[in-house]
Amino acid sequence: MQRTGTRIAAFILLIGLLASLFVAFERARIEQATRRVEIAMDYNDFLTLARSYNYRPEAFLVALRRAGLTSLALQEELGSSIGTDKNAYVASGVALLSTARLSSISDPTLSALVHNHRIAQDEVYLLVYDRPTFERYMQELPLHFTPGSLRLLHASAPWVIAIRTQLDYFGSVGLGIPTSQLQLAHRLNFLVIPRFQNDERLEAPQIAALFDTLRRQARISTVVFFGLRNQVIGFPDHLRDTADVMKARNLTFGSIETYDPNQIQKGNDELAKLIPGRTVRVQAIAKLEQDKLSFDDIVARYLLGARERNIRVVYLRPFAHQYGPLSIEKTNVELVRQIADGLRARGFTLGRASPVPLYRGNNRVVVGIAALSVPSIFVLLLFALRFYRLWLAIAAYALTIIIYAGGLLSHHDILGRSIIALAGALLFAAAAVWVYGGAFTEPPAQSTGAQVVRGLYWTALATGVALLGALVVVGLMSSPLVMEEIERFRGVKALLAVPALVALLLYLFTDRFGARIQNPRAAFSTPVGVGQLILGFLILVAAALVITRSGNQTDIAPSSFELSLRSGLTSLLTVRPRFKEFLVGFPLMMLVPALLLAHRRAIGWLLAIGIGVGIGDIIDTFSHLHTPLVVSLLRVFNAAIIGCIIGALAIVIYRALFAAREAVKRRAVPA
């Protein structure tokens, strides 16, 4: 009966792994097909820099385009920005009345209003000297103000518009993207990244008008929102209207990468979920932070983002420092050139950013089959631990189906998939530790060469099982929304802590490692020494540090030495391996079979914890779903090569020290 149950579980596991492999293959194919990156420049910041140094903006932009710049990020003009050029002027009624007391007003329309006492203190008066600007204002103002709030006082140049509002509120209102900027982008063959500010009163017709006025004048690439309140258009009540408008016009949404949840634009994730397959990740460096970075750091950060974090819009702000002997202008041209050349060298192309589309690897049926891998490995572990019960196996499969189906029916499928994927990751980590347990009972080999080969065998065996767990995570979680980090895999921190604890429990309470506690009650009542307390405390501190430092942004910053080491490894290997793998997991997996049985018993529990950390980290590498599969595979491969070399050296050193110790003992024995 048990043999039949094992075969059934193994067969279902095989089917589930094949489904996961299909998803992984399709995902890798899509990742290879979506490698077009957009390099954009913030036009407002660019214009400020150009004017500050008296550079000719158009000639400067031509040089940037030749260097590889693809797009201009054009921001809506705010009411507070009116007057920075010669196209318009704005003043409140109070300001006009105060001015009239001191001097005459040259504009005849406003002068007549003052003379006839028709200036209202609760109005703002807008003078426009340029027809395209006037036409834009007449299109944009009705989107934000009621018809009764607007009056056209003079219908020819200079046009005069009265708006019933307060000047401070008017200063925060978006008035569209200046026509001159759109014409400049069109003339210089740039794509346009429109940056609109949200107004909570905008509904479907106004949102459509906002985009349609732009589509007639420019080639829109990616829409990136901005604003003092940090909201996407349509938040909070009209996100679906925004989504419908963007889908109808085939627009791509740019989700700005941020490590602080408080900085995420309000409505960002909700909008992306409404338009799956139309989102790209945008990487920008804030002005204050950029001012502290070197030229090379900026280039390296953007290249790393495109290669390892699925960044498809490189959002640049001008660099305000000289690079060597180059002028500020040439420095920025060189910045764009190095980023563009670096992207091309890494297999990317430049142009309109390519989102991760809806692809057949994310098929619900295929993912559901992949989910069956999780109860299957659970059942096989029950057999290995001699805890198998038929009702437990049935319950495991039923619970998996209920969670997956419940997620689909409740429209929280990613949450359901995350729960199953986390369970699978932890179970496969336990299976990898269990498989490796045989290395703890195997006698050391006679020769060093044979011992290194044995270490490689056990390391490959445990790593292979861990990679199967990673494959299941990939099969379950490779949704476009997860790959764009709109939805996230829940349980990354658990993957760093639980496998180590599971490894310790398996070591202490099973026969697999040859060190089972026969009487747990007596073991728990055994007095604990001061040294053991200190060691336990240090392990807890190290575990807390590892968990706290997990993620891209933590309260505990890496040391300058660690940052330098990371940079060196990235430069040398292209993809940096993770320290927990190549300094802990892989060396220990290599070393354990070489240790004498007495030494294994003395520190075996500590070695098991270290191996559990390494195995958990292998699976965790693939739980960062925004990282391309090829990069994750290369990261683990690099860690395995370096870690096995370190482990082999440790074996050689250990055996040499043991041989020297034995030689000393033999010489000490009287003849």
Tell me the per-residue pLDDT of 41-67, one tens digit each, with 9 for 90 and over.
999 999 999 999 999 999 999 999 999
- CA–CA dist 663, 671 (Å, integer): 14
Locate 652 and state its tokens.
Answer: 């050689």
pLDDT in tens, 638-650: 999 999 999 999 9
CA angle 481, 486, 492 (to 5 degrees): 100
pLDDT at 492 over 80: no
- 28 pLDDT exceeds 90? yes
DSSP assignment of 53-79, as one string?
TT--HHHHHHHHHHHT--EEEEEPPBG
Residue 251: per-residue pLDDT: 92
d(CA 284, CA 316): 6
CATH number for the domain running over 35-76+176-350? 3.20.20
pLDDT at 130 over 80: yes
The answer on pLDDT for 8 being more than 80 is yes
Q: How far is Cα 94 from Cα 98, in angstroms, rounded to an integer?
A: 6
Q: pLDDT (tens digit, 9 = 90+) per residue, 549-575?
A: 555 555 555 666 666 777 777 777 788
Instruction: Select, from the ranges 170-174, 576-580, 635-639, the one with the highest average predicted confidence (pLDDT).
Output: 635-639
Distance CA 5, CA 3 (A): 5
Please provide the average confidence, as pLDDT, over all residues in the chain.
89
pLDDT (tens digit per residue) in 603-630: 888 899 999 999 999 999 999 999 999 9
- Domain limits of the chain? 2-26+358-664, 35-76+176-350, 81-170
CB 191 within 8 A of CB 219: yes
Alpha carbon distance 73, 47 (integer Å): 12
pLDDT score at 421 = 96
Residues 6 or more apart whose Cβ sits within 8 Å of residue 373: 12, 13, 16, 17, 19, 20, 424, 472, 475
So what's the pLDDT on residue 261? 76
Of the candidates 30, 34, 32, 36, the one whose C-alpha atom is nearest the C-alpha of residue 478 is 30
Q: Could you give the CA distance from residue 618 to residue 463 in angstroms, rounded to a whole number?
A: 8
**In the predicted model, is pLDDT for residue 529 greater than 90?**
no
Residue with tokens 């040089």: 63
pLDDT in tens, 71-87: 999 999 999 889 888 88
CA separation (Å) from 183 to 49, 335, 421?
20, 25, 50
**Average confidence (pLDDT) over 588-615:** 91
Alpha-carbon separation of residue 93 from 80, 90, 126 (angstroms): 16, 10, 10
In this prediction, residues 375-379 reach a mean pLDDT of: 96
Do residues 431 and 378 touch, judged by C-beta distance below 8 A? no
Whether residue 435 has pLDDT greater than 60: yes
Residues above pLDDT 70, as percent of the chain: 91
Half-sphere exposure of 620 (CA within 13 A, CB side): 25
Going from the C-alpha of 408 to that of each of 363, 365, 414, 479, the distances in angstroms are 12, 11, 8, 14
> Which pLDDT belongs to residue 361?
83
- pLDDT value at 516 more than 90: no
Residue 135 carries which side chain, given as an amino acid letter?
E
The per-residue pLDDT for 455 is: 95
Q: What mean pLDDT do residues 245-270 have?
A: 89
Using an 8 Å Cβ cutoff, are 433 and 612 in contact? Answer: yes
